[in-house]
Amino acid sequence: MAKKAETKPYKGTRDFLPEDIDRREHVTSIIRSVYEGHGFRPLETPAMERLETLLGKYGEEGDQLLFKVAKRGQGLVEGVREASEILAREGVVVGRTGETSPKAELLVSDIGLRYDLTVPLSRVYANELARLPAVFRRYQIQPVWRADNPGKGRFREFYQCDVDVIGTPSIVAEAEVAGAVAECLTRLGFRDFTIAINHRALLAAMIERAGIDPSKAQDAITVVDKLAKIGRDGVVAELAQKGVADAAGRTLLEMVEGADLAKVGALLAGHERGERAIADVRRVFELSKHTPASGFLSFDPSLARGLGYYTGCIFEIGVKDLAGSLGGGGRYDGLIGMFLGRDVPAVGFSIGLERILVVMEERGMFPQSIGRGPELLVAAVEEDRIEEALGLAYALRARGVRVELSPKVEKPGQARKDADQRGVPRALLVRSDGYNLWQASERDVTDRRVTPDELFAIVAGRRAMP
* Binders of a second copy in range 251-290 (CB under 8 A): 286-287, 289-290
> Computed from CA positions of residues 365, 371, 373, 376, in that sequence, does the dihedral angle turn out positive or negative?
positive
Quote the least distance from Cβ 204 to a second copy, whole Å: 24
When the beta carbons of 35 and 204 are compared against a second copy, the nearer one is 35
Quote the least distance from Cβ 249 to a second copy, whole Å: 35
Residue 132 interacts with a second copy (CB under 8 A)?
A: yes
Residue 295 interacts with a second copy (CB under 8 A)?
A: no
DSSP 290: T
Q: Which residues contact 185 (CB under 8 A, 6 or more apart)?
A: 193, 296, 317, 326
Quote the least distance from Cβ 280 to a second copy, whole Å: 14
First to last CA, the chain: 52
Distance CA 315, CA 198 (A): 7
Strand 194-199 with 297-299, pairing = parallel
Q: Which stretch, 62-70, 189-197, 198-206, 240-248, contacts a second copy (CB under 8 A)?
A: 62-70
- What is the amino acid identity at position 57? K
- Size of site (CB under 8 A) for a second copy: 123
> Computed from CA positions of residues 299, 302, 307, 312, in that sequence, does the dihedral angle turn out positive or negative?
positive
When the beta carbons of 90 and 246 are compared against a second copy, the nearer one is 90
Distance CA 205, CA 434 (A): 82
Q: Of residues 144-203, which lie at the interface with a second copy (CB under 8 A)?
A: 145, 147, 156-157, 165, 168, 170, 172-173, 175-176, 179, 183
When the beta carbons of 295 and 400 are compared against a second copy, the nearer one is 400
Q: Of residues 83-122, which lie at the interface with a second copy (CB under 8 A)?
A: 83-84, 87, 92, 94-101, 104-105, 108-109, 111, 113, 120
Distance CA 115, CA 58 (A): 9
When the beta carbons of 234 and 400 are compared against a second copy, the nearer one is 400
Quote the least distance from Cβ 240 to a second copy, whole Å: 32
Q: Of residues 338-377, which lie at the interface with a second copy (CB under 8 A)?
A: 338-341, 372-374, 377
CA dist list (Å): 268 to 206, 209, 311, 374: 7, 7, 19, 63
When the beta carbons of 267 and 429 are compared against a second copy, the nearer one is 429
Residue 38 interacts with a second copy (CB under 8 A)?
A: yes
Residue 55 interacts with a second copy (CB under 8 A)?
A: no
Distance CA 94, CA 162 (A): 41
When the beta carbons of 94 and 266 are compared against a second copy, the nearer one is 94
Q: What is the dihedral of CA 378, 383, 387, 392, to 10 degrees?
A: -20
Distance CA 87, CA 104 (A): 7
